[in-house]
Amino acid sequence: MPETNSPLRILGFAGSLRRRSYNRRLLDLAATTAPGRIQLLVHDIHDVPLFDEDVEADTHGGPEGVRLLRAAIAAADGVLIATPEYNQSMPGVLKNVLDWLSRKDPAYGEVLAGKPVAIVGATPGRWGTRVAQAQVRHALSAMEALVMATPQVYIAGAGGQGPDADPFDAATARRLGTFLEAFREWIGRVSLAGDGRFAAPES
């Protein structure tokens, strides 16, 4: 947790490689509408290759794209993952990133173990990435990440106004602001618990 006068640093990444994916744009919206004293930085995962233990061994922990992502997560107070949903499942590209992050790094260890994490997701469909988010949550729990349980944000019908229109409305921006404020409180509670103090829920 940062000092009292420092912004809360959240590292976000989307489980999609498409440049203008709905979930990357959802993170961009969150970055511009984040409540005061929350700094959301969006990380690109294009440079993370397919997980291969031979590559891991040859590069002493992972190639540059993996090392940069691990360093960014280690420097953040929390992580925000935006996942699409493909065929009622999390995307393979996101599972691949999580597999890399589950491994011990010589410099940072397991960077998501003990790290506060929140999950959002957007899709043009009607289910709002519910299944994908549940699978991401399950994988993160196995990695000992501290996943925020509630509130949860499922964005359905993204891009319904046409390809040239903004895929998200003002109501979505407000939901993201509320969600990030809850995440800020969750990070604070986790920090207090790590210091051995009881963190009571705020009323």
pTM: 0.91
Q: What is the pLDDT of residue 107?
A: 87
Asked if 78 contacts 10 with a C-beta cutoff of 8 angstroms, the reply is yes
Q: What is the pLDDT of residue 169?
A: 86
- Cα 106 → chain centroid: 23
Per-residue pLDDT tens over the stretch 109-157: 999 999 999 999 999 888 889 999 999 999 999 999 999 999 999 999 8
Per-residue pLDDT tens over the stretch 13-70: 999 999 889 999 999 999 999 998 899 999 999 999 999 999 999 999 999 999 999 9
User: Token pair 């002493």 is at which residue?
Assistant: 60
Structural domains in the chain, sorted by start: 8-193 (3.40.50.360)
